Copies of this chain bind each other. A is one copy, B any other.
């Protein structure tokens, strides 16, 4: 992800876009891209939503929006000095405590 962050930063700097890239603006842009992803799915049934990659046109659109979401997330993190992978790793650990696994029969099964 660091290579991608570096390419995004170079890209924006070369086009003199960095003054627009305040954290506030970047999260707005992130939420707009997330909504563009939602838009693809908004009228689909759950079953149809699982088939979107079968249509090359829709698949390309989905991948394009995924790229936009990731791009703004990485630029936001870069601007504020956040390591997104470390943040997610820490969150998974907190969630493992918050949502402990239910005891299951085989874990409790007699030796």
- On A, residues with C-beta under 8 Å from B are 1, 4, 7-8, 11, 14-15, 20, 22-25, 27-32, 34-46, 49-50, 52-53, 62-64, 66-71, 73-74, 76-77, 79-82, 84-85, 87-92, 95-96, 99, 101
CA distance A84 to B64 in the complex (A): 10
Query: Which of A30, A45, A90 is the most central at the interface, judged by chain B CB atoms within 10 Å of its CB?
Result: A30
Cβ-neighbour of A67 out of B30, B49, B87 (below 8 A): B87
Copies of this subunit? 4
DSSP class of A's interface residues: helix, strand, loop or mixed? helix
Residues of B within 8 Å of A85, CB to CB, are 1, 4, 70
Q: Cα distance A94–B108 when bound, in Å?
A: 50
